[in-house]
Chain A
Amino acid sequence: MGYEISLLTFMGISIIGSLSLNLITGFCGQVSLGHVAFVGIGAYTASILTKADTPFFVALLAGMLLAGTFGVMVGLASLRVRHDFLAITTMGVNFVFLGVVREQEWLGGELGISSIPDPGFGKLGFLALVLGCVILVALLSFQIRRSWMGYVFEAVSGDEDTARMLGLDASHYKLIAFALGTALAGLSGGLYAHHVRFIFPDSFAFVESITLLAMVVIGGNGSILGVILASALLSVLPQWFQFIGDYKLLLYGSLLFVVMRFSPGGLAGLAQNLFLKSKKYFALKENQ
């Protein structure tokens, strides 16, 4: 079972990561190309703390808190720069995060942090913990979407200026999206670190941010189920593609491209289109 467990654990961690990005990018419309930096902040914080004998959950929480704090700082940047500029700024955040971590000996520098303590739940216990977190994060996502907060996020994502004209404090809401999203990224980071029990800068390279964003957009920006499905698929894809061997990444890249090129709404968009088409079809029939 260990193999399935470790795969499911990674899947769960990916889902938390992509759902957290979905809060920012999917719900609130702020494209972030550097989300894995916050995963990294959570991972480093939690690891350093548990290595210093801090209880696991306290460390996890601290990782979330610190990631969220940095997230709010980037959120403040989002109040100043928009759209493409924001995308590239967040990308910059990822590179600067790596650049700084690589040079910090107390963060393990290039060697990273190894022998991160086992939280002691056993493989299955840890999986249960991760899945529990997935459920919580998914529930939170659903709650946000059906609440007035999600309503406002949708408005801010659609047209920020008009949202302000309706008396909505768009800046404040954007900061909340960043705070929540990055804190949850920190959670996924803390879990990741204690699952692999070894982290180093390359674990949080820019390509991982792209992977997270890909999960969100392939799932259908904003669609919770779509994003969960896409991250579940994409996180195990490299394992499934083992038999394709040499063509694995080629396929992965092409998949990203093809989905964006032919169904920019992602899986959710695809499903919706089919649904609408069938609805129209039936409506036509009814009218006849």
Chain B
Amino acid sequence: MLYLELFLQGLLQGSIYALVAVGLTLVYGLLRILHVAHAGLYTLGGYFGVLVYNSSGSLMLSGIVATFGVGILGVIIYRLCYEAILDQPPFVPLIASIGLFIAMEELYRILFGSYGVSYTNPPLQQMLPLGGLYLREGEWVTILVSIILIGGLAWLSSRTRLGLAWRATVTDPQMAESFGIDPIRVRYFNFFIGSALAGTAGMIVGILNNLVEPTMGSVPSYKALAIIVLGGLGSVRGTLVAALALGVVESYGTIYLGNVLNRDAIAFVFLILVLMVRPQGMFRGV
């Protein structure tokens, strides 16, 4: 039972990683930018969630604001920050992104205070044991939301016109354009979806921890980079697998490896090992 529970906890953590990392991999797949500031959007999702909930009391409304608000902001960031430096060597957008991330964290601190913000009336905190598994409502919701969102993303990309346009543009932007697909719109869409996923993840984590801090994004920021590399930069499927696998490994690692290796180092040990064997990551393709 314990092993199963640890596994489930790992999947839980992994699904949050997945929500963040999928957005990052979408951005990388299309534009080859390592978008560190993505984690800043994740934190913003947390803030939107808690601030809207505390003032309105509606979980639905705060969810919508966290998802769509962050999504739109992601598009704006792309437009203002990245569009002009796409053809620079890769470290230029990377460092710009890191600078942006530091600035975002500080901006949150100045705007929302350094102590962090908690839900005045924390939602979804009740325990809901199901079949001997002890998870909070919030944790069940997390799993559910991840499945819905990632399933939705899969549906969107495989069953809709927009998704088709997106997949075509990722593989060959020039040819996609030849058949009438607007690559600029696809980029906006891409940033919107990726950022919205991060915003949702941020809000979920805000609820689970009942705490949204300015530095909330610091862990996912770099770990998500490791995940998308493990998944084979740009591969959504690979990213999902890598995120879930990492969640599970960390879950067991926390209990059984705690005094050998830091939890946050586990991802990178794996990363280095995998890259030495397979310099292109575990998976290729979309």
Contacts known (A77-B276, A89-B272, A92-B271); A257 close to B233, Cβ less than 8 A? no
Q: A88-B34, A99-B261, A250-B110 are in contact. Are A256 and B275 (CB under 8 A)?
A: no
| CB <8 Å contact, B272 and A77 | yes
Task: Mark the stretch among B61-69, B98-106, B163-171, B202-210 that contacts chain A.
Answer: B98-106
Q: Name the B residues within 8 Å of A139 (CB-CB).
A: none
In the complex formed, the residue of A with least CB distance to B103 is: A253
Interface check B144, CB cutoff 8 A: no
Please report the C-alpha to C-alpha distance between residue A278 and residue B95 in the assembled complex, in whole angstroms. Answer: 29
Q: Which residue of A lies closest to B37 (CB)?
A: A257
* Chain B residues bordering chain A, tally (CB within 8 A): 48
Question: Quick check: B102 and A252 within 8 Å, CB to CB?
Answer: yes
B41-60 CB mask vs A (1 if < 8 Å, else 0) is 00000000000000000000
CB <8 Å contact, A260 and B106: no
Of B84-92, B152-160, B180-188, B235-243, the one touching chain A: B84-92
Interface of B is mostly: helix
Question: A257 contacts which of B99, B266, B280 (Cβ < 8 Å)?
Answer: B99
B226 on interface, CB distance cutoff 8 Å:
yes
Best-buried of B105, B275, B280 by chain A (most CB within 10 Å): B275
Q: A80-B275, A214-B99, A250-B103 are in contact. Are A99 and B268 (CB under 8 A)?
A: yes
Nearest residue in B to A74 (C-beta to C-beta)?
A: B272
Q: How many A-B residue pairs have CB under 8 A?
A: 137
CB distance B102 to A253 under 8 Å? Answer: yes
List residues of A (252-277) whose CB comes within 8 Å of B's CBs.
252-261, 264
Are A264 and B85 in contact, CB atoms less than 8 angstroms apart? yes
Question: Shortest Cβ distance from B274 into chain A, in angstroms?
Answer: 10
Contacts of A1-58 to chain B: CB distance below 8 A: 25, 31
Shortest CB–CB separation between residue B215 and chain A, in angstroms? 11
Map CB proximity to A onto B98-136 as digits: 1 under 8 Å, 0 otherwise.
111111111100100000000000000000000000000
Given the interface pairs A256-B102, A260-B85, A261-B85, the reply to whether A99 lies near B262 with Cβ below 8 Å is: yes
Report the count of interface residues on A (CB-CB < 8 A): 43
Q: Mark B239-277, 1 if CB is under 8 A from A, else 0.
A: 000000000000000000001111011111101100110
Q: How far, in angstroms, from A123 to B102 measured CA to CA in the complex?
A: 33
Cβ–Cβ < 8 Å partners of A253 in chain B: 99-106
A177 interfacial by beta-carbon distance below 8 Å: no
Q: What would be 5 A-B contacts, judged by CB atoms less than 8 Å apart? A: A103-B261, A249-B106, A250-B110, A256-B96, A264-B92
Q: A91-B268, A99-B269, A256-B99 are in contact. List 12 more A-B contacts (CB 8 A).
A: A77-B272, A82-B279, A83-B90, A85-B279, A85-B280, A88-B34, A88-B271, A89-B275, A98-B265, A255-B99, A261-B85, A264-B88
